[in-house]
Structure 1
Amino acid sequence: MELKDLKEKRALVTGGTKGIGKAIADELAEAGATVIVTARTKPEQTAHHFIAADLTNANEVAALAKEIANTFGGIDILINNVGGLTTPGGGHSTLTDVHWNQELDLNLISAIRLDRIVLPQMIKQKSGVIIHISSIAGKQALWNLNMAYAVSKAALNSYSKALATELADKGVRVLTVAPGATRTETMVKFLNGYAISAGITPEEGIKQLMAQTGGIPMGRMAEPEEVAQLVHFLVSPSAAYLTGTIYAIDGGSLPVVG
């Protein structure tokens, strides 16, 4: 790929102020794209155009889209990165209707809502790329840790595939990236919290969690920049014939074929 293969492209990265989202935003900007990032609160520093928005709120999504249309005329690349594990572990008996709705709204409906509002412009210009950031949890749920989260990501995978098929002849590509354990600040906090609740050291906590998923053959977590580099390739002209596929980036940890 050329270093500036995204020159003149407009990209929106949701949850683009930290972790994987920030790494993606920085990567796309380095490749020449004009990058817009959104999150609920503005960071102290950002190199990109920031718009505050809660994507679980339909009115704020509409306002976000309006500001982008007025300022940039639309977008060419959408990275649906907002999401997270917000519900307790412990299995079905610990999860209430509120928990289930909360996880589905954050990890599935927020992406559907934003896709729906930006797609008319992409279809009109007969070009665009949408990336949904999912998780390998969508294929490998841990009932005692992430049941609702895993279900929401599995639903996102299915939605993304269906949308890709619908849009394949309209010039819009839709792909899914499913990271495994990635060394973000949020992941480190989660691992530390898990270790404290289990009465073990953080190192033991990491080993215990990794053992539940069969371990990571490459022996380490991914770096956010590695996920960003995959996303860069998928939105670039080099990936023009790719759509509807889920790309796991997990160091070989998923113990399945495909």
Structure 2
Amino acid sequence: MKTMVVGASKGLGKALIEGLGEAGDTLIGVSRSRPDQLNHKADVQVHWIEANLAEPAKAAQAIEASVAESGLDTLIYNLGIWEEFAFDPAYHFLADSDEQLEAIVTCNIT
């Protein structure tokens, strides 16, 4: 099985790369950079695509090129960014800049 995890450099995405797969499977991580430390299963091949999804057209080209020949069986889209102070008690949505909100929509949806 060939599985791609988008947003795989830390947190849940990294845990998916480290925990998924069986002998002979291939996992493909996608993030701005590959984590320094990955503890994936021994018989699982792991490949990495360094792509910044804040630049969706460029990222899509890199991702497509990497799987064009052999395809994918599963795609896990685990990407999301938040407002800079989203979890701060003083957070106020209407005070966010248009630029920040546009970047969030571009990255999370586009």
TM norm structure 2: 0.75
Percent sequence identity over matched residues? 31
TM-superposed deviation, 1:32 = 5.8
- The whole-number CA distance in structure 2 between the counterparts of 1:23 and 1:37 is 11
Alignment correspondent of 2:49: 51
Q: Does the CA-based 8 Å contact 2:3-2:75 persist in structure 1?
A: yes
Which residue pairs with 1:60 in the alignment?
A: 59
3-state SS of paired residue (2:16): helix
**TM-aligned CA distance change 1:16 to 1:95, over 3 Å:** same
Letter in 2 for 1:67: S
Cα separation, 1, equivalents of 2:9 and 2:97: 30
Measure the CA separation in 2 of the matches of 1:50 and 1:19: 16
Instruction: Please tell me the residue identity of whatever aligns with 2:98.
Output: D
Q: Matched residue of 1:23: which SS?
A: helix
Question: Over aligned residue pairs, what C-alpha RMSD do you find?
Answer: 2.0
Alignment partner of 1:75 is 2:72: yes
CA contact (8 A) 1:54 1:61 kept: no
Counterpart CA distance in 1 for 2:100 and 2:54 is 14
Aligned residues, how many? 99
Q: String of CA shifts for 1:73-111, please: whole Å, max 9, x gaps.
A: 1111000011122433422331121121111122222xx
Q: Is the alpha carbon distance of 1:66 and 1:85 closer, same or farther for their aligned partners in structure 2, counting shifts above 3 Å?
A: same
- CA distance in 1 between counterparts of 2:37 and 2:64 reads 23
- Quote the Cα distance in structure 2 between the aligned partners of 1:97 and 1:78: 31
Question: 2:15: which partner in 1?
Answer: 23
Give yes or no for the alignment of 1:107 onto 2:99. no
Q: Which has the higher helix share?
A: 1
Distance 1:22 1:30 in 2: 16
Aligned pair in 2 of structure 1 residues 92, 51: CA closer, same or farther (>3 Å)? Answer: closer
* Structure 1: segments with no counterpart, 5+ residues: 1-8, 110-258
Structure 2 counterpart SS, 1:29? coil
Alignment-mate amino acid for residue 61 of structure 2: A
Equivalence for 2:43: none
Tell me if structure 2 keeps the 8 A contact 1:38–1:52. yes
- Do 2:54 and 2:103's aligned partners in 1 also have CA atoms closer than 8 Å? no
**What is the correspondence of 1:205-224 to structure 2 with a 5 Å cutoff?**
none
Report deviation, 1:31. Answer: 7.5
Q: Return the letter of the residue paired with 2:52.
A: D
**1:1-258 residue pairs with structure 2 within 5 A?**
9-30=1-22, 33-46=25-38, 47=40, 48-57=46-55, 58-70=57-69, 73-89=70-86, 90-109=91-110
Structure 2 unaligned blocks of 5 or more: 41-45
